[in-house]
Amino acid sequence: MKKAIEGKGLAPAIGPYSAGVSWGDVIFTSGQIAMDPHTGEMALGNSISEEAHRVMKNLQAVLLAGGADFNSVVKTSIFLSSMDHFEEVNGVYGGYFQPPFPARETIAVKTLPKNVNVEISCIAMRKS
């Protein structure tokens, strides 16, 4: 049965979607951007690295609320405003995972919500 993932510390949705949804032991997160979960304001920081860290922290909050963590992630999708950001975002992203790393794609798109530079979503398995 499909169930919305809810909890404290999750960035507010900017549209008609849930931060995450579970179906059995599988967790699907919505794309997370650099939004401060407490204020709902953008928290881009002063660099792509700072923005990417905020995105990863928001993603982590959804995973934890759903009963998972970064070790439970099997697939990620990274969306960038430019492939010029790839190296910096990849460095931040890599710091949150351990081998075996999740499957992944990284895609450059014309525009992201709120004109951010990074959006990341994932699929994870709930911890037993």
pLDDT of residue 66: 96
pLDDT of residue 126: 94
Distance (Å, whole) CA 25 – CA 128: 9
CA-based nearest residue to 116, from 70, 86, 76, 82: 82
127 pLDDT more than 90: no
Identify residue 110 by its one-letter amino acid code: K
Residue 67 belongs to what domain range? 2-125
Distance (Å, whole) CA 111 – CA 88: 19
Q: Which two tokens stand for residue 79?
A: 């969306």
Looking at the structure of the chain, the number of domains it has is: 1
Count other Cβ atoms within 10 Å, centred on residue 128: 6
Distance (Å, whole) CA 66 – CA 61: 9
pLDDT in tens, 50-87: 999 999 999 999 999 999 999 999 999 999 999 999 99
What mean pLDDT, rounded, does the chain reach? 96
**For the whole model, what pTM was predicted?**
0.96
128 pLDDT more than 80: no
Sign of torsion, CA 123 2 56 112?
A: positive
pLDDT band of 13, cuts 50, 70, 90: confident
CATH code where residue 21 lies: 3.30.1330.40
